[in-house]
Structures are given as structure tokens and as C-alpha cells.
Structure 1
């Protein structure tokens, strides 16, 4: 062992996490549908309202709902929303913790 011992240092080095393509495919598909039909932002708002009423959600899910509220207050542009959600940053990871908010965005209407 060539390094000095530091009791505060974490002994296990942190690994770098890479995003998998299959993990992001749902978000990519939802934002593609949102770009084609921007009126589907109403579905996103309805999902936000629905999940806000739920009392027993994890803390991370509540934080993601709050962040999506802030994002929709700033912009309703699907390209801007996609850029912020898909970026590899702290904010992007927090946005992606609640994929159910995009539920029903790509669903086809049946008449």
C-alpha cells in the first residue's frame, strides 16, 4: 500500500456511471412524440397533477415532480425540455427519476 491511510477517505473508488441507450429510449420516444404534437404538454400537466395528489411517493419522486413543475413554468418548448431532461448532469438525472410523468404522451387516440 503506497498511499497514506486517511480514515475519512472512502476506500472504494467511485465508479463512473454511463447512461445506457435502452434506459433513455423511453424518454427519447416520448420527446419525439411531444415534438410532433406539442399539444400533448397537456398530458404532461395532467400527469403532474395526478402524481402531486399521491401522498405516499418517495422523496426522489416528489423532487422530480417539483422540478418538472419548474421546467413547465419556464418553457413549454419540447426541444428545450428534451435538452434539459436528457443532459448528463445532476439536474438531468433528477428529471429522469420519474418517467411516469411522460406516460400517455405517445399513446394514439382511438376514435
Structure 2
């Protein structure tokens, strides 16, 4: 596979891996620690929406959107690193989960509904 055939996700995985290796952070990047860091970063995303109305959360000021973008990037980076440490093909796992959800939530039953699949 040459570099033009690689997905953005694989390229990102390799960049995150190289970043961690250059700093000898592998010793700290256990699945437990990475999962905890992932949740911490996800909580930082949530803080930007806490106490806002649904309308205000959908119309963030540009400065807030820029901050949210960086927090989302942190979430993605920890997720990609965790998947790498666990040797999970994240793209394949996502495709598999999407197929499961397509079966659980057929469009003709789930359209416009927020019910769990067992209640459709």
C-alpha cells in the first residue's frame, strides 16, 4: 500500500503513534489511561454546551466553535490512540457497527423517532 492509498484515519493513527513514541509516552498509554483521558476530553466538549439552550448550542459564537473544534480533536486523538494500542481497526469497527445499527434501526421504522431499537 503506498501513501496515496492510505486512509486519513490510518495516516492520523501513524502520526499519533509517532508523536507518542517520540516522547516515550507508550509507558503511560495503557488502555485504562487512554480510556480515562478520552472521557475527560469528552467532558470538556460537554462543558461548552452545558446550560445552553438547544438553540444556543446549535449557534455557537465563532470563538466557542473554535474551542469546541480543538476539544473534539482531543477526543479523536485519544480515540485513535486507544484503538491503536488495542490493535482495533477503527474504520472497520465503525463500518461493522453502522451495519448493526442499520439492521436495528430500519429507516422505515426509525425515521423521525428517537426510540431505542427494541421499542420501534
Same fold (TM over 0.5): no
Counting helix residues as a fraction of each chain, which structure ranks higher?
Answer: 2
Larger RCO of the pair (alpha carbons < 8 Å, separation 6+): 1
How would you bin the TM-score normalised by the shorter chain? Answer: 0.3 to 0.5
TM-score for both structures, normalised by structure 2:
0.31
